[in-house]
Structure 1
Amino acid sequence: MSTFNEKASAPTAFAPYLDAVTNLFHPVSGPVLNTYARFHGWKESMGLVQPGTVENVSKEVSNVHLANWFFDGARADVAKVVSANPAFQLTHSFALGSSSKPSSYNFGAIFANATTFLQGGVDGEGVVTMRANQTWSPSNITKVQGQLYNKPGQSMLQIEHDYLGPHHSFSLKTMNPGVLDGTGIHFVSALQSLSPRLSVGFETIVQRPQPGILETSTSYLAKLTSLPTLASSAAAALTPLGQPPVAQPFNPSWIATAQLQPSGNIQTTYFQKLSDKVDVALDLQTVIQPASMMGPAKREAITTLGAKYDFRMATFRGQIDSNGKVGMLLEQRFTPAFAFMVSGEIDHAKNASRFGVGIMIESSTMTQEEMIAAGMLQPV
């Protein structure tokens, strides 16, 4: 047995040549590798965190403010859970009497497991929408969105890929890409953590509506957060030795961001978690527009302050801006399968108002024991 191992580990005929090549490049590669190892060790000793992506740099503020949640008129969302693992759900959405858009109906389906998320829908006018997210690894995620209209020139396809490193992120996104002529709108963004609290990045937009037209613009941003919690530091320390560190989630108690746009406008946001159930968010946007054929010069700023309260069976969002607009949204869940929503907005400057009511109903083909095992219901 030992004779076989000795023969298996005996040097091959190419070993002298490989050693000669290694010795030839060692005077150049050795210092480079040593410098990189020292730089990597210095970077790890700084306690850097995963900063997230540029697209989600103000995600916490968007979760508090009403821009993505407000509705007017009447709406009803009916969902039927067919399976919990993998998740499969059918949805019916109705919207009636809205001042922002006419009455509509949408049928959708959602499928999700640990690595794949699929969502599709079709409305009463025949418009088909789809969305797909594929997680290849904890650091690589590909996203695809598409809309198919029954009118020519209105369909849309968007492809995006996010890479999340231990201390940085890099994203590529393209909208309606032209394979042959390179037309479309392309986005390149990156965010790098410089310290446990400070991250900086950029986003470049390349627009090519026609083969002979090319426009580029770049915006710069910075993100300042509270210090990482002990839980985040402990999770990062559990990475096995000899393996690249995995991006760990980081939930700071407060976040401040600033973005300088190509037009010279500045957008700043601030998010503060006051408690486990109360969040507040502030958004400031400047509008600097020089005089042109489109109109006179404009210099103004808009500030929006919002708060979100999470109760045991309800969520309340309220906000007010510097233009005198006040809004609110209440989502009251009476049972795990039924919720009632009411929203309202008053614009004092324009002497206008909007109001909306809605319900959400969720049913399931699963038994009570299966829903408790899936975490959908609390055991009695």
Structure 2
Amino acid sequence: MGARQSVEASCGGGMAFGTTASAPLLMQGKVKRMLWNDVKGKRFEMEVVEAKEGMSLIPSVATTEEGDKEMNASAEDLGKAQQAPTFAAQGVAKDTDYMELPQPVRYEELQKECLMSLRPETFEGMRFDFTKPLNQSFSLSHSLQMGAAEMPTANPQQIVKIPVSSYEFGANLIGNKGMMIGRMLTDGRMSGRVKYDLNDALSFKVQAQLAEEKQYSQTMFDVDVKGLDWNGQVKVGNNQFVGVNYFQSVTNNLALGGEAFYLGSQRKSGVGFAARHQGDPGIATCQIATTGLLSATYHHKVSEKVYLASELMWNWNAREASAAFGYDYILRQCRLRGRVDSSGVITAFLEERLNVGVNFVLSAELDHYRKDYRFGFGMTVGME
């Protein structure tokens, strides 16, 4: 039945549109509200409501008392007729379409939302970061840090710190298909990262770090593959390291996956499993591995400016457990992040925006149990 016939049937057959061009517009769902006159000269107004299963013509206003009565009766009949298809359409929308599941996050980014709150980049002393863009793709960076470094000792309660300073020079090349990032420090360390996207489904990544100490030098080569509702990764590195992971969406909100690795130099191997549930207010993740680690996190979005996160880690081999709570508060001119864990360590990190591209940074970490207190301040210029 056409749009005009549907309206005539719903309103007793005594109604006609002013122009015949209205019917095609209604069929396409382009007309939201229309006025017309019936054969008796009464003027009515109706709304066109778009739905997945079709359109519903809902009477809304009548300009005469008789029109009110007729319109109310027509609205009741039309509401009964349209009630079942509307509910059916809503039920179909809520069901899971297993042929069109969303693309999950990468396995390595399973807990990326919680890391902003639970892993603030605290430091001790003074830090200055400057980035100079030369064009839209290439930029240079300079970083200067002066402070103290903690030296490991046999007694965990004994804290030994020595003054240190370092300068880091970096170069960044970012394009549409990939990026190249390099860093060089005054202590002789060099690091670099290259990523290239061959297409939307396949990308390659190489990471390398060179240092005077052999144990600190490492290289890793990754191959990322993406499907419609899954992604996988293969990793090959030095010390005979081989790893693979896979992550699959099973519903619109739930994704499951696993990983496996083998370290030939130490003759160690492990298998892990992970789950991630992403809802509207919060994101919950869980990871378990044969190495003895169990990790569970929850990230809750309180509002557009307030985020909360919690983490529970358990090492059943060492019979140790720890818990942490973090927050991320975004204000108009600053961003405050912090963390409190079960060992009594309190961390706070503040970024204050002074001007466009200029941020002032404050860092603090208080460990009352070990009597270790770390404070830092810095400036970031040239980065948004």
2:334: which partner in 1? Answer: 314
Q: Which of residues 185, 199, 205 is equivalent to 1:123?
A: 185
**Aligned pairs, how many?**
278
**What does residue 373 of structure 2 align with?**
353
Partner of 1:175: 237
The normalised TM-score by structure 1 is 0.69
Corresponding residue for 1:200? Answer: 256
- The whole-number CA distance in structure 1 between the counterparts of 2:96 and 2:355 is 49
Q: In the alignment, does 2:324 pair up with 1:271?
A: no
Counterpart in the other structure of 1:336? 356
Letter paired with 2:244: V
Cα distance in 1 for partners of 2:301, 2:260 equals 31
Distance of 2:340 and 2:303 partners within structure 1: 21
Q: Secondary structure at the match of 1:103?
A: strand
CA deviations over 1:227-246 (Å, ceiling 9, x no partner):
xxxxxxxxxxxxxxxxxxxx
Where has structure 1 moved over 3 Å in runs of 4 or more?
A: 42-47, 150-154
| Alignment match of 1:82 (pick from 130, 134, 139) | 134
1:13-37: CA deviations, max 9, x gaps?
xxxxxxxxxxxxxxxxxxxxxxxxx
Counterpart CA distance in 1 for 2:107 and 2:302 is 25
Q: CA deviation at 1:215?
A: 2.9
Measured in 2, the distance between the counterparts of 1:259 and 1:335 equals 41
Q: 1:77 to 1:283 in 2, by over 3 A?
A: same
Tell me what 1:134 maps to.
196
Partner amino acid, structure 1, of 2:307? D
Residues of 1 paired with 2:300 and 2:139: CA distance?
34
| 1:16-165 equivalent positions in 2, closer than 5 A | 44-45=97-98, 47-67=100-120, 69-84=121-136, 87-100=137-150, 102-152=164-214, 154-165=216-227
Q: Are residues 1:302 and 2:322 paired?
A: yes
Query: Are the aligned partners of 1:73 and 1:99 in contact in 2 as well (CA < 8 Å)?
Result: no
Structure 2 regions of 5+ residues with no counterpart? Answer: 1-94, 151-162
2:98, 2:251 within 8 Å by CA — same for their partners in 1?
no
Partner deviation per Cα, 1:29-54 (whole Å, 9 max, x = no partner): xxxxxxxxxxxxx9954652111111
Q: Is the 8 Å Cα contact of residues 131 and 143 (structure 1) preserved in structure 2?
A: yes
Distance 2:267 2:320 in 1: 30
Higher strand share: 2
Q: Distance in 2 between matches of 1:299 and 1:155?
A: 31
Q: Which digits, 9 at most, give the CA deviation of each residue in 1:247-299, with x for residues without a partner?
A: xxxxx54210111111333110001111111111111001222xxxxxxxx42
Sort the Cα spacing of 1:105 and 1:51 in 2 relative to 1 into closer, same or farther, 3 A: same
2:345 to 318, 322, 325: 325
User: Does the CA contact (< 8 Å) of 1:66 and 1:317 recur in 2?
Assistant: no
CA RMSD of aligned residues (A): 2.1
TM-score by length of 2: 0.68
8 Å CA contact 1:52–1:164 kept in 2: the answer is no
Task: Say whether the 8 Å CA contact 1:66–1:329 is kept in structure 2.
Answer: no
Alpha-carbon spacing, 1:275–1:121, altered in 2? closer, same or farther (3 Å) = same
Is the 8 Å Cα contact of residues 104 and 229 (structure 2) preserved in structure 1? yes
Match of 1:261 among 289, 292, 307: 289
Max Rg structure: 2
**For residues 220-259 of structure 1, what are the structure 2 equivalents within 5 Å?**
220-226=273-279, 253-259=281-287
Ranges in structure 1 where 5+ consecutive residues have no aligned partner: 1-41, 177-182, 227-251, 290-297, 364-375
Counterpart-to-counterpart distance in 1, 2:232 and 2:357: 39
What is the alpha-carbon distance in structure 1 between the residues aligned to residue 370 and residue 187 of structure 2? Answer: 33
The Cα shift of 1:220 comes to 0.9
